[in-house]
Amino acid sequence: MTYLIDANVLIEAKNKYYHMDFCPAFWDWLLRCSAGGQIYSIKNVYDELINGNDELKDWALKNRPLFLPVSEVQTQQNLASIVQYVAQQQAQVPMSVGAMDEFLRGADAWLIAKAMTMGSTIVTHERLDVRCKKKFLIPNICAQFNVPYINTFDLLLALNASFILAA
């Protein structure tokens, strides 16, 4: 099983519970899992991260192989299906003005398209909310396309992560 990580997972980890200064093991673990073919993200997430000006930008720049390209034909075709679905939803459901543009401008649609191509599970902190009308959520779109998704903590459990303090 491969996992594709949403930008919000990395941003929240850096800002909250796995800050790079006090939990470098989390970041090392991500890289080990990536080297082992289990965890990746995509170029579009990389692009979002390097637009910042913090240690996460520096980490992303140093670890470019973690971020996969999305240029292959199958991912492009999957993206087209996602765009078509989102456009239909925007027309049929009273979504907030700009919800579709916001969704398509970011990495989320590409992340789902790449997961469809690879048969991967997406790791995100977004939650399924079929009543949400102000934005398109990754889990809502994943549900439509049968793409599995989990949060960071379920990922840690699934891959038996263990961050042990060495004395």
Count the Cβ atoms, other than its own, within 10 Å of residue 136.
Answer: 24
What is the domain range of residue 136?
Answer: 3-158
138, 149 Cβ separation under 8 angstroms: yes
Mean pLDDT of 34-44: 97
Q: Is 167 a domain residue?
A: no
- Categorize the per-residue pLDDT at 66 as very low, low, confident or very high, splitting at 50, 70 and 90: very high
113, 4 Cβ separation under 8 angstroms: no
If phi over 0 gives left and psi between -120 and 50 gives alpha, with beta otherwise, what is residue 136? beta
Domain count across the chain: 1
Q: Is 75 a domain residue?
A: yes
CATH code for position 70: 3.40.50.1010
Q: Is 166 a domain residue?
A: no
| 83 residue type, one letter | V
Which of 18-22, 92-96, 111-115, 156-160 has the lowest average pLDDT? 92-96
Q: Is 105 a domain residue?
A: yes
Query: For 113-163, how does the pLDDT look when each residue is reduced to its tens digit (9 = 90+)?
Result: 999 999 999 999 999 777 767 888 999 999 999 999 999 999 999 999 998
- What's residue 132's pLDDT? 63
116, 78 Cβ separation under 8 angstroms: yes
Count the Cβ atoms, other than its own, within 10 Å of residue 99.
Answer: 18
CA 52 to chain centre: 17
Q: How far is residue 73 from each of residues 2, 54, 76, 85, 158, measured CA to CA in Å?
A: 20, 34, 5, 19, 30
Distance CA 12, CA 28 (A): 16
- What's residue 167's pLDDT? 66
Count the Cβ atoms, other than its own, within 10 Å of residue 87.
Answer: 12
Q: Is 45 a domain residue?
A: yes
